[in-house]
Amino acid sequence: MGIKDLLTIFSPAKAQSSPDQSINESVAKVKEDCGCYVQFMDNEVVFQVRWGAHGLDCPLYRQSRDPVDHVADLEFRAKFEPMVNRHQAILNPE
């Protein structure tokens, strides 16, 4: 790798996306792939939700190996999943 290659890599013309843009892209991807109540939550909440707090049948669900995080995920799910599902049922009656 020569100097020309390094200049290309660190060139301002090849600017990285802003942190806010990266966060928004991450949240959009989670909402697109999510199959549970988390997809209906605010972007700020979705960004902070751990994989273990997703619904058990959600493709994004991953059980935390940390016992403290696992308990926090269970508590989050128990508190918000019924609330969000009820709200969605009111908004979208079948």
d(CA 81, CA 87): 10
Residue 6 lies in a domain: no
What is the model's pLDDT at position 71?
A: 96
Residue 4 lies in a domain: no
What is the model's pLDDT at position 92?
A: 83
Residue 31 lies in a domain: yes
Residue 55 lies in a domain: yes
Residue 68 lies in a domain: yes
Domain count, the chain: 1
- The domain of 87 spans 19-91
Chain segment 25-60, per-residue pLDDT in tens: 989 999 999 999 999 999 999 999 999 999 999 999
Helix H or strand E encompassing 87 = helix 67-91
Chain segment 60-83, per-residue pLDDT in tens: 999 999 999 999 999 999 999 999
